[in-house]
Structure formats: C-alpha cells, structure tokens
Amino acid sequence: MTESTDFMLNDLRAALAGLYDIEAPIARGGMALVYLARELGLDRPVAIKVLHPDLARDEANRIRFLREARTVAQLTHPNIVPIFTVGEFDGFVFFAMAYVTGETLAQRVTSRGPLDPHTAGRVLCDIGEALDYAHARGVVHRDVKPDNILIDAASGRALLSDFGIAHASPPKTSSRQLGRPSAPRGLVVGTAAFMSPEQASGDLVDARSDIYSLGVVAYYALSGRLPFQASTDLGFLAQHISDPPPKIATAVPLVPPRFAQIVDRCLSKEPWARYADAAALVRAVAAAVAPPAVPLAIRAFMMRSTHLEAPALIHAFVTGVWLLPATLDAWLSPATPTGRAVTTVALGLALLLPVIVSVVRVRRLLAAGHERKELVAALAARQARRREELAFVYGPGPTSFERSMGWLARLALLTTIAAVSGVLELILVPPLISALLPSVITTAGVTAVLSAIVARARTEQRTDPLGERSLRFWRGPLGRALFRIAGRRPSADPSILTVLGRLETPA
C-alpha cells in the first residue's frame, strides 16, 4: 500500500468515525478502493467502496460512482451483493455494501484449478438468475467477469458485484424476449477479455451481451484459461469481434456434451444465436448438470457387490499367497516341466477370473440396453456430488496443518536419505555424527512416515479414492476394452459363464 493510500485510510477513518470502524483495505480497482469495516450502529461487517478523492473532484466520476450505488440499491436479489447506504463526508464519496466472506471466482480458479461441471453449473445458474433479475429491471451489467463474482464461503452461493459501468434504462414488458434493455452505441467500456463482439465494437448492447460475457466466464471456470489469448486489450477486442471461439470440448474433453453446447452457444458472435434471456440460459444449465435419472441396471452395477467380497478375498489370498509364489518357485527351481505348466496355467486362470466376472457383469448391463457412456456419466455425477459433500464437511483444503505435515514429512525423508548416504558426515563433525547417526536415521525416518500418514489421512477425508478409481477405470481404455469384449459372443465354455452368472447374482 502506497504512502498516499496510508494517508487516505487515516483520513477516511477520521471522516467516518462514529459510523464505521475502518479495519483494512481488501480490494482495489481503477476508480475506487474497497475496505473491510464494521458498522457501529448495527455491529455488522460491511465492505465500503470509496471513490478515490482525486477522482471525486471530477463531477462526471462522482455521477458515475453514485449511479452505480443507486442502480444496485434498487436490486434486491440473493445473488446480487446488496448496498446498505450511500454517503458523502469530508470529500469522500462512498457506499457500504454487504461483506461476503469468501473469495472471487478468479481467486478460486487460480488457487484450486478449474471447477468441475457440477460446481461450474451452479455458479452459472446463480449469476444467470442475478442477471435475469437485473435485466428485467432495465439493467445491463456490461462487466461480467470472474473478479466480479464472489463465492460465499459458508453456502457456496455465487454473488454478482460491481455494477460500476452498468447501464440502466426503463424496463419494457416485451424487452425480455427481445434481449433488451439496451445500452447506447459508441462507447467501449468493460474488461476486454470478457467483452461481447458488439460491446467490443462499440455497437448497441443488450442483455445478450452479458450472456456472452457469462459464456467466457464459464469457459474460464471449466478450463482455467480464456477462450482467446492476447497480450493487449486491442488484441482481445479484435479476437472477440472476428475470430471464431474455440469449442470448450477441445479444452476440457470431459465436460458433459449438453453443457459444452450451452457454453458454445453463449459464445456465438451474433446476439440472436445466443439465449434470448438469462432465464433460458439458467434453465438449460440446470437441466444439463442435474443428476441424471439413473436406471436400475446401472445403479445395481455401481453398487458394491457385497456378496462377492468373501470370494474376492479368498481369490486374492490364494493367488497372492499360494499360486504366485508356487509359480515363481517352479520356474526358479529345478522343477519338472509338468509342474511348471500346471502352476503357470493355474496362475493364469486365477488372474483371468476377475476379468471373466467383469465381462459377465458388463454383458448383463448391455443386455438391459445400456452403454458404457451411460455408466460413465452416472459415475461422474456421483463423484461430483461426493466431492461437493466431502468439501462441505471437511473444507476445500488442504489446511495449513496438513501442508505443514506434508513439508515435515518431506524434510524428514530428505534428512533420512542424507544420513543413510553419509552426506551428514561430510557436513558435521565426523566423531559427533558417528555417534548420533543411528539415532538421526531412526528419528527422521519415523518422523517422515508418521507425518506422511497424518497428512495423507487428513487429505483422504476429502476424497473418495475407491469411487475415483472406479470412474477412471470405466472411463479409460481398460473399461472400453471390457465393453468391447462383452459385446461379442462369448468364446468361453457356456457352463463357466453360467456358473459365474449365478455367482454374480445374489440369492
């Protein structure tokens, strides 16, 4: 924070003394600064947005700033950050708004990577509902971007903020169906990386311009990068105007096809090709990311086959403890060719048995009229819900404690390696280290193991390893191969398949 900003903070505290206790700056923009404060009268935290005093001397800046306050003050919606008060004291022009504990969408993606389709869809629905509400009241935001989307830490709800360049016009009954209200021509305002083609050209913009910007936000949230890359604002504007947008599926192949089509439609160059209004967009996103109605056959396939757990344990024990050592002993010792052949065939059949059981299960799924992509979609939806539930219970993590344990485990492991390799003997006094070396190795090794176990145990609370492995398997090449094999006419003895089918079906 610069010296002039320090003076501004002190002056602001003096100007608002008795009304607000200014605590600390939390954000900074081109025209204003935002401070965390406590409203003394109601004893609640608020965010105070203050127009920079140098800009406040200009009447046009003051009018624009106060227009934002008046515009948002008229909008009462759970997904729009509300404004409480507007005021002018001792040369400061400010307004107080709700303080949202959490982070912006930009911060979320930067710190934890792209969102999964389910979470991204929920954010789009929240912001789409906020835009639909604003559009119905004649307000076009014109600066929809990740920095202006706040994610509430407690509820995960997304809120739209910063209507600083929004344009308000009287709403019309028929305007929603035509993509109105509209903002005037000629003035290019907004953030270049998220502007619609008509906004970048200085043409007439309406609610569908915000839908385009929300499409860019969706692309960024799902992929972690922008659809267009440029080093200057002019470069971004030129690409938004003339370059065809890349398909989201090329950047994120695992996005559900219906969701990918929605993002691509939002990024259409022509406003008429996008959704007519934000309400239609919200309906489409909600339908695309809603948990699918999972048929009985797929639900049964996804269930853990508890009736097979005992046979599976016996199979693993016999294979690992008896057949594998016996086969290795037969090949490494002077055994007879017959003994080698018998143990090798037995081991091969034991390893093949899980594949045969899986093929039988897949054949039953195919016979019920379902394909692999339906199973993968159901598994992906289940894992998305599971991740969301675990993140809510245990936090998004990792916590500072878990990170500390992870670094302690690494440091202890390096210490152990250095002690075993003799590096410590070269650094420290040889007689001293010779006496302490066994203790150093033991202590560092135990510390590394215990720290790693603690860090991993805490981290695994947020994951579902078994479910994730199942999803990767059926989505990957081995899962595809099993479905291809199961789709063919079985070449094995029908009696074997019959027995396995009976084993797979609980009594």
Structure tokens at 330: 């037969």
Name the burial class of residue 432, with classes exposed (0-12), middle (13-18) and buried (19+) by CB atoms within 10 angstroms of its CB: exposed
Q: Assess whether 6 carries a catalytic annotation.
A: no
Q: DSSP string spanning 245-294? A: PPPHHHH-TTS-HHHHHHHHHHT-SSGGGS-SSHHHHHHHHHHHHSPP--
State the Cα–Cα distance between residues 233 and 200, nearest whole angstrom: 10
Residues 6+ apart with CB under 8 A from 38: 20, 21, 23, 44, 45, 46
SS3 232: coil
Contact yes or no for 378/292 (Cβ under 8 A): yes
Per DSSP, helices labelled H in 137-253 are 197-200, 207-223, 233-242, 248-251
Contact yes or no for 36/23 (Cβ under 8 A): yes
Question: In one letter, which amino acid is 427?
Answer: I
Residue of 143, 162, 210, 277 marked active site: 143
End-to-end, the C-alpha distance of the chain in Å comes to 72
Task: Identify the H or E element spanning 48.
Answer: strand 44-51
Tokens 């609370």 belong to 461
State the Cα–Cα distance between residues 4 and 53, nearest whole angstrom: 11
Strand partners, 28: 33
Strand partners, 102: 152
SS3 175: coil
Task: Give the C-alpha distances (Å, rounded to integers) separating 387 from 325, 425, 468.
Answer: 40, 47, 10
Residues 6+ apart with CB under 8 A from 295: 368, 370, 374
**Region for 104 from its dihedrals, namely left if φ exceeds 0, alpha if ψ lies in -120 to 50, beta otherwise:** beta
Q: Annotated catalytic sites, by residue? A: 143
